[in-house]
Structure 1
């Protein structure tokens, strides 16, 4: 059974919105959220992390049709993760790279930290070769076949990302998952991490692009304006969540709380928290662009602006927001 990142990743959306439906008084839930954060404790289970090299290599598969604008947004986000690019040309803070640097506090049993550098090594376009309805097992088999044919490189410190377009339906996507990570066996290399994130803009924006879209239930409220578009910004939030989980718990033996098959991980342990003062239904205090009125909390490469979720800090044992 795959490692369901959202799995609890839907607390970003499902759990939060169920709670919202039960109560409308926000301040009371602020205390509840603080209690959840205090009760969360990710345990290191002694397994491997993505610490074999100084860089986590990313191989991207663009499955289906993506707009050039959305591709540029996601490319810029990946470029922003590394220290040399993360704060953009103007050196603005808080930066995407600063957010990712928090992951380096996760260390393996030898004391090696998760690398601060993330690099997209290769990208592959696929025009619906498996159709528009995919099972999770097909995604795993797809990655294995591309490695076997040498279409995708073989690497020991890698995450193979399959990104699906808005018209592609993936098993359990929008039904209990906004993305997931798991691993596949590769002869001579043990197991390698792979993941899936889909474009939620058509299928479930209120679930997998919150707070840039609102669900059909819960108290009334307006969604925030997305700096790059609901689909792309929803994918960025989910890519960030999945990548953090894959780096710190790639084989279900790293850092997590709860059931190994449905764990709370580095980001999913902090559901729905994006800024200070967050509570269920309210993402927290964010920056707002003066011109577009779009909300965000981090600067990236090429002037990009992104919204990134809180990360559970193993040093402070708390959910930390970028600031």
Structure 2
């Protein structure tokens, strides 16, 4: 039941260098001699979704600095924060699209945080070891929870940088869990684009990361992708298109799109911080800025961007 979403760049360029991954983007860039694509539709397979109040428990595997942890925790807490009269798009407004899947708002709260700085299972992790680590985040008391394992840049994970930047799955007991790795040292060109030069396709200049850490800002993109997939397709019978366990999901269906007008090698129109030169499209708590991927909107059957 494991799900490995495609790389943001690997899929984006290998599918085609002359058209968009997401059909909705075709409305922003007309190319001649192309057959009009059918709208992308994620089919609902009648399985349970994670709606209502969802607790995210974190297992930090490796030596993350306090600043790195705060960037990721602030992102999660921003998903359900209230920003009244915000002049810019917020992280919460990005997450609000999830309600179109679940039928009611889905709030996210950060629960247990377990530090595994001693590399208790070594620096090479298999899928089975990830499941063991994920179980450490569960302490009971919450019926709807997702345990997320976050691995540091010096931890090699099965499939990491080869076929995935993260994944979500479920245990035999029916608990949903996920994993996301830090690509800063191992594969920034695969799992931290557009903050690093891609290893495939057009070599456009990378964007400046909003929090000054290419690996962590790349993790935000991948965590957003995995978490949205976990909520809308926790047991491989929710919303997806394609084969179960390897299909396109809420965010992976819009791979490589961050703003309007996106095309291969270009993430789309985003906001530029005039002081730092960083690129972003959403503001979270404490004024922290993030770049979040487009999410497929079930109400419009399009890849919805914030800007």
Same topology, TM > 0.5: yes
Match of residue 99 from structure 1:
94
Q: Deviations over 1:186-241 (max 9, x none)?
A: 2xxxx010000000001110110100001234333210000111011100000000
Q: Deviations over 1:69-121 (max 9, x none)?
A: 2111111101110133xx49x844200000000111003xxxx43x3310001
The 5 A counterparts of 1:1-323 are 2-4=2-4, 6=5, 9-10=6-7, 12-18=8-14, 30-31=29-30, 38-51=38-51, 54-84=52-82, 87=83, 91-107=86-102, 112-113=103-104, 115-127=105-117, 128-144=119-135, 147=138, 152-153=139-140, 155-186=142-173, 191-228=174-211, 229-323=213-307
Aligned-partner SS, 1:39: coil
| Mapped partners of 2:298, 2:156: distance in 1 | 35
| Mapped partners of 2:271, 2:59: distance in 1 | 32
| Mapped partners of 1:275, 1:145: distance in 2 | 37
Unpaired segments ≥5 residues, structure 2: 20-24
State the Cα RMSD in Å.
2.5
When the two structures are aligned, how many residues end up with a matched partner? 298
| Mapped partners of 1:71, 1:36: distance in 2 | 44
| Mapped partners of 2:76, 2:232: distance in 1 | 17
Pair 274,166 (structure 1): closer, same or farther in 2 beyond 3 Å: same
Aligned-partner SS, 1:137: helix
Q: Deviations over 1:257-316 (max 9, x none)?
A: 000020100001111010001111110000000100000000000110000011111111
Aligned-partner SS, 1:194: strand
Unpaired segments ≥5 residues, structure 1: none
| Mapped partners of 2:3, 2:208: distance in 1 | 31
Aligned-partner SS, 2:176: strand
Aligned-partner SS, 1:101: helix
Q: Deviations over 1:32-81 (max 9, x none)?
A: 7x989843110000000002xx3110000110001222111111101110
| Mapped partners of 1:313, 1:235: distance in 2 | 23
| Mapped partners of 1:133, 1:64: distance in 2 | 11
